[in-house]
Amino acid sequence: MLLEGIETLLVLAKEGTMSKAGSTLYISQSAVSKRISGLEKRLGKKLIEPDGRRIKLTADADALIRNVGPSYRELKGLIFDQQHVQDQTLISLACSETLVAGYLGQRLGEYLRIDPYISISTHHTPVIVERVQSGEATIGFCAGHLPPHHGLATRHLLDEPFTIVSHQPLTRQPDGLLVNDLKNPANAYQASLLQQAGILPLMEMDSYTASAQLALGGVAPALIPHSIVKALKINPEYCHHFDFLDQLTRPVHLCYRHKTYRSARVQALIETIADSVPTTASAPST
């Protein structure tokens, strides 16, 4: 019951409301409340406070998450390592949305006809890594820099190039760009490279697809990775290359727990994903 309460608190901290936490955990809102109440009684501490329609964590809750969260995820991962992957065991693949759209569409469709017991979800890279660490995901397919000290097995597949997408012709390097969320640790490295190039982030979007669509609509030029250009089939006339882009790539990795690779089914899926990603990719340009 203690571990159940900690898990619920971790989910609640991410989701912000009892109802969203319940949806994530597949339990009712009242069950979430009971779990948190039970954890508070066990610890003798107040962990949450109402904050309008959302909940606010207390200082004790923040400290508990900082101290216990990493160990809890590792414990879940160690339990996951004891699982024997059989023919119908569900394999969970946590992906970057841009990568699954750009590289896996057709290949994964063919693969699922051979092995249908695969679940796919999309997340930002820090969440993907956390899910693999805890065993909630079997394999992670990540874009951008991985967090340090993640403790996972990784395979570097590609340094993916970027292009500048613009509906209007560009005769020189733009002064500002639509970019993806630079507060995301996986993307943070881009900020200094853009600053060195003298480029101002105009808007920080949550999705490269949204940035590309705004750029094609004439809002402003956008920094877009090759996988999105490929997935959206953006016409090369709207893609532009400038010298600073030679230094601006994003690494693409597979990550998984070390013992996971012992499963023949997991190996097969990992190799299929790796084969679907080109070892080099150059974004189209005019």
Residues 279 and 171: their CA atoms lie apart, in Å, by 30
Residue 260 has pLDDT above 90, yes or no: no
Query: Which residue is it, tokens 């409301």?
Result: 17
Quote the pLDDT of residue 193. Answer: 93
Residue 25 has pLDDT above 90, yes or no: no
Least confident segment among 72-76, 159-163, 281-285: 281-285
* pLDDT band (50, 70, 90) for residue 80: low
Quote the pLDDT of residue 52. Answer: 82
The closest of 180, 206, 207, 205 to 194, measured between CA atoms, is: 180
Specify the higher pLDDT residue, 231 or 282.
231
Q: What's the whole-number mean pLDDT along residues 32-58?
A: 89
> 104: which 2 tokens?
């896996």
Render pLDDT for 133-160 as a digit per residue (tens, 0 to 9). Answer: 888 899 999 999 998 888 899 999 999 9
Instruction: Annotate 196-241 with three-state secondary structure.
Output: HCCCEEEEEECCHHHHHHHHHCCCCCEEEEHHHHHHHCCCHHHEEC
Residue 281 has pLDDT above 80, yes or no: no
Q: What is the mean pLDDT of the chain?
A: 88
Phi, psi of 52 (to 5 degrees): 70, -125
Residue 233 has pLDDT above 80, yes or no: yes
Residues 11 and 31: their CA atoms lie apart, in Å, by 13
Contact 182/204 with Cβ under 8 angstroms?
yes
Report field, pTM of the whole predicted structure over 0.75: no
Residue 7 has pLDDT above 90, yes or no: no
The closest of 26, 46, 28 to 37, measured between CA atoms, is: 46
Burial 59-98 (b: 16+ CB within 10 A, else e): eebeebbeeebeebbeebbeebeeeebeeeeebbbbbbbb
Render pLDDT for 84-126 as a digit per residue (tens, 0 to 9). Answer: 666 778 899 999 988 998 898 878 888 888 889 999 999 989 9
